[in-house]
């Protein structure tokens, strides 16, 4: 019996299964990133509720109630950037919807990232912060905010030069810094539960640890992307 027709029918199924598995993995990554951003987003929502309802001033919220615009811009920009950025990082979605990827990055993601970094720098410079957030942590926030702005600019510059790999690398680094607030929940909560509120030194250590951890993961992802790009066979153009 000729089995060729059966082979022809079944041969394409393996690539489809591979694509489905890859797509499922990508969506799990996006869900994880959004979940990581969920806790600070909820805290930001509470802060916006205080501002909108005219909550009584306390030492913890006085600076936000007195000058609300920067923190409102920061919270809204961070939510948009974290959620949209998670989908921008999915290779499969990017390949299938390249026009959407470009438009979302150009008109929403990059502006939102600039708002997040710029408002963060403004708040660091002009808000009266608690003693535990002053000193070394202030320096760290300046470094992170400026680095995020630089990464965004370099990412845009790379794509203008059509250097897609460098563009992705800089955007991943910027996203990693922006997602620091989510990781900071993980680096600060255990300490608070076990030992209570940290002093200025330990608060700086916990906050910096989150940014550094995110950057380390970002560099690992970038290295994998570069290795994958190098392993792809070059397309040979047949002679005329």
Task: Specify the pLDDT at position 11.
Answer: 41
- Where do runs of H (alpha helix) occur along the chain? 4-10, 13-53, 62-66, 68-88, 91-96, 98-104, 110-126, 136-160, 164-178, 180-195, 200-231
Of 92 and 156, more confident: 156
Q: How far is C-alpha 74 from the chain's CA centre?
A: 14
Do residues 71 and 64 make contact, with C-beta atoms less than 8 angstroms apart? yes
Higher pLDDT, 175 or 4: 175
Task: Express each pLDDT in 54-85 by its tens digit.
Answer: 889 988 889 999 999 999 999 999 999 999 99
> What are 138-184's pLDDT values in tens digits?
999 999 999 999 999 999 999 999 999 999 999 999 999 999 999 99
What is the model's pLDDT at position 21? 53
Q: What angle do CA 119, 212, 217 make, to 5 degrees?
A: 110
CA distances from 239 to 35, 130, 148, 216, 236 (A): 51, 69, 46, 45, 9
Residue 20: predicted pLDDT: 58
- Whether the pLDDT of residue 1 is over 70: the answer is no
176 or 12, greater pLDDT: 176
Percentage of the chain exceeding pLDDT 70: 88
Section 7-31 average pLDDT: 61
- Return the sign of the alpha-carbon dihedral for residues 19, 182, 44, 117: negative
- Average confidence score pLDDT of the chain: 87
Work out the pLDDT band at 233, boundaries 50, 70, 90.
low
What is the pTM for the complete model shown? 0.85
């Amino acid at each position: 019996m000729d089995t060729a027709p059966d082979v022809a029918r079944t041969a394409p199924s393996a690539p489809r299964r591979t694509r489905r598995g890859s797509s499922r993995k990508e969506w799990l990554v996006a869900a994880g990133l959004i979940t990581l951003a969920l806790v600070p987003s909820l805290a930001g929502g509470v802060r916006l509720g205080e501002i909108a309802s005219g909550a009584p001033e306390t030492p913890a919220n006085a600076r936000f109630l007195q000058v609300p615009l920067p923190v409102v811009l920061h919270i809204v920009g961070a939510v948009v950037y974290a959620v949209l950025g998670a989908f921008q990082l999915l290779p499969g979605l990017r390949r299938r919807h390249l026009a959407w990827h470009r438009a979302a990055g150009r008109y929403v993601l990059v502006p939102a990232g600039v708002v997040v970094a710029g408002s963060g720098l403004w708040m660091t410079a002009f808000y009266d912060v608690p003693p535990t957030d002053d000193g070394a942590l202030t320096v760290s926030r300046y470094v992170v905010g400026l680095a995020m702005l630089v990464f965004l600019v370099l990412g845009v510059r790379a794509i203008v030069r059509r250097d897609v790999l460098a563009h992705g690398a800089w955007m991943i680094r910027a996203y990693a810094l922006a997602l620091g607030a989510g990781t900071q929940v993980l680096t600060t909560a255990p300490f608070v539960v076990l030992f209570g509120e940290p002093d200025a030194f330990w608060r700086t250590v916990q906050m910096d640890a989150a940014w550094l951890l995110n950057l380390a993961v970002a560099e690992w992802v970038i290295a994998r992307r570069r290795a994958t790009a190098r392993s792809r066979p070059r397309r040979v153009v047949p002679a005329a």
